[in-house]
Chain A
Amino acid sequence: MSTTMVPPVPTVPAASVATADARPERRVAETGVWIAIATISMSFAALTSALVVRQSSGPDWRHLQLPSLLYVNTLVLLASSMTLESSRRHRGSFGLHATLLLGVLFLVGQVFAWRQLATQNVLLATGPSSAFFYVFTVLHALHVLGGLGGLGLVERRLAAGVLGRTTFKAAALYWHFMAVLWLYLLALLTIRG
């Protein structure tokens, strides 16, 4: 073991780094969302493969007629994506508020769709197709709920005038992904469900 002196570490005063820096604005929020998208996609891919395997493992698969309310909810979610995009481009709070409202409306719509199925006695344990339907839609709704939380934070920061451009971009990226994921799930449940 040695106790030699540590050579001096060259450092730059924090202020000068800012100007000399090639990457002036941090992208951690955006990177974080991309990583989240990757991992959420993986989870839903695993569930998709589970659905395919389960469908062929037993003779008890019955096609599930999706409640038509889901298509209305789809339009609501797509509209929320558009209002968010316009808000992001113009940094206006109106579009953001509309997105929050439409997001809540989507979740309320999903709850109504579940209740509609429940009154027809289609429950989680009714059969494999209904089980997968509830698993997929509830997990998606929870992720949307998380997205609403993130957008709430964006709204607060926008109102306070401290919202970073990339933070907004990251939040919007996540929200658009929720819409894309929903379209995928809708297609999957329609075709294979």
Chain B
Amino acid sequence: MTHGVTTAHAQPQSFLRRHVFSVDHKVIGRQYLDLALVAVVTGMVLSWIMRFHLGWPETPVPGLGKLAPTGAAGGIITPEYYLALMTMHGTIMVFFVLTTAPFAGFGNFFLPIHVGAADMAFPRINMMSFWVTLLAFLVLVSAFFIGDGPPLSGWTAYAPLSAVGKDAGPGQGVGQTLWAVSIAMFCVAQLLGSLNFIATTLDLRTRGMSLARLPFATWAWFITSVIGLIAFAVLMPACILLILDRVAGTSFFIPAGLVISDRLQPHAGGSPLLWQHLFWFFGHPEVYIAILPGFGIVSQILPVFARKPLLGPRVLIVCLIAIAFLSYTVWGHHMFLSGMNPLSATLFSVPTLVITIPATIICLLWIGTLYGARLRFTAAALFALGFVSVFVSGGISGFFLAQPSTDIYLHGTYFVVAHFHFVMGVAAMFGIFAGTYFWFPKMFGRMMNETLGKWHFWLTFIGVYCVFMPMHYLGLAGNVRRYSAFTDEYLQPLIPLHRFITIAALFTGAVQLIFLFNLIRSRLRGPIAPANPWEATTLEWSTSSPPPHDNFGGHPPVVTHGPNEFGGAGARDYVMQAEPR
């Protein structure tokens, strides 16, 4: 048997097998990215509706009255429907965009090529994990159309609200059950995906591809898989217990004597905090599942456009591993307000502050790499730089939230909304954009339009700062989050700021049409891409654009160099990984 070709399968001929039910990791990666695109548009439209309502609480949202006659009669959103929109926005974005695109999408397409393999270790399991993810998405969005609407207990689905059933409000009946089933399915899909990523990285590396020579993005995907393997393995049983509480009458999370909607709930002895512990034991590592692939993508892209080797490549890997390890010790910082022993709060606060050290070191490595570089300002490079900017902006507000004394004031406010949108939402999105501009030529064989890409970057960059920066002030001013309207006397003066944020959000969202247009037009009409348009070093650039069915045309590459060899003197300032010595 040989490296790289053992799991290769003959290219199937039928349309369905080639493009729909394909076991080819490249097709599956594209399917994940397509799913994430549908999900991100859905999630963004939901956020638009919420923002519109926050800015103009008494003005009907155009057209919404027809779409949601109960939740928004006449276009005016009820408080419950606002929570439903918020729940769906959060769930769709965290699971089906931030996990699906940078990790499952790009990871599927490029991890096997990066290690020099012909496909994933278990191609059929790989196909299954995509279809289960798609099914999970459909189950989730079906909540809009079934029963009395989507659930309203947030993407964190805190018990007992999420556990008691329809007494807890509209959408808490069928909608919340659909949510729990969808997330349990998503867990299965991610576990199967992680299994594939880990086995492929460990066992299918081509000759010469030692761990030290793995590209940084693949290191990040590998470490993310390990995090996912542990995190989703906890969320799945938690969802099972939640479903049982809802449909089978058990009391895992519902305490005794609970009266909701004037009805005594027929449960006893359960612990709502147990759900929070299980959820955040998954939930905090999930933040790193969303952001570490971005770390990897940026670490891979910056040296290419700086034409310099990344500073401290081994330090980067050690820091990524440290983050992965520490991510399991910090979940309690989400629960400072949940009734926690002050000593436990301190114990969770310390690792939360410690985890900023490896993250800071990584940022310094990026900045150090840029020092003295003659940067090529492509759209991919701009988004990679933007990633560093928004990640640092979001990370700094983390210091305030890591300490119980300040978090107690800020936790229920827009300060937290600003923090996590910057640090995991926008940053991860910038990672996805950087990856798209960087890898599009390889994935589709055509170049994207750089001018449109740069416009897209600058307008988005300004837009997201206008949206999320003012939220810090809202939070400091005591503007609570999760409320549907701020019409009372105390928060009324903040309404103009809310309107500014809403306009900025609508603008930033509209700017994404440039990206969509660029994506579609380049796909059809873009100039034909050469094999290595960016003069990069990793293995995907050694094969044609797009790569053949088995990635390397039956000849697995032999790796002789690391991924980081830039800046040499001579005719070419880089050495490719598979170049003869």
Contacts and interface: CB of A to CB of B under 8 A. Distances in A.
B396 interface: no
A189 to B, nearest CB: 16
A111 interface: no
Interface in B271-296: 271, 273-274, 277-278, 281
A42 B233 CA distance: 6
B161 interface: no
Interface string A107-126: 00000000000000000110
B236 interface: yes
Interface in B160-199: 191, 194-195, 198-199
Interface centre among B195, B533, B535 (most CB of A within 10 A): B195
Contacts of A38: 229-230
A68 interface: no
B223 to A, nearest CB: 14
A58 B542 contact: no
Given A1-B533, A14-B554, A57-B269, A28 B204 contact: yes
Contact of A31 (B203, B252, B281, B576): B203
A108 B50 CA distance: 53
Interface string B517-560: 00000000000001111110000011100000000101111101
Contact of A3 (B233, B533, B554): B533
Interface in A19-63: 20-21, 23-28, 31-32, 35-36, 38-40, 42-44, 46-47, 49-50, 53-54, 57-61
A146 to B, nearest CB: 12
B567 to A, nearest CB: 15
B274 to A, nearest CB: 5
B252 A10 contact: no
Contacts of B249: 124-125
A125 B251 CA distance: 8
Contacts of A39: 191, 194-195, 229-230, 232-233
A54 B270 contact: yes
A108 to B, nearest CB: 24
A128 B256 CA distance: 13
Chain A: interface size category: 35 or more
A135 B240 CA distance: 9
Given A1-B534, A6-B541, A14-B5, A50 B252 contact: yes
B238 interface: yes
Contact of B248 (A13, A44, A125): A125
A42 B232 CA distance: 9
Contacts of A23: 3
B2 A58 contact: no
B506 interface: no
Interface of A: 1-4, 6-7, 9-14, 17-18, 20-21, 23-28, 31-32, 35-36, 38-40, 42-44, 46-47, 49-50, 53-54, 57-61, 124-125, 128, 131, 135, 139
Interface of B: 1-3, 5-7, 121-122, 191, 194-195, 198-199, 202-204, 207, 229-230, 232-234, 236-238, 240-241, 244, 248-252, 255-256, 268-271, 273-274, 277-278, 281, 378, 447, 450, 530-535, 541-543, 552, 554-558, 560, 572, 576, 578-580
9 contacts: A2-B534, A6-B542, A10-B558, A17-B2, A18-B1, A26-B1, A58-B255, A131-B244, A139-B237
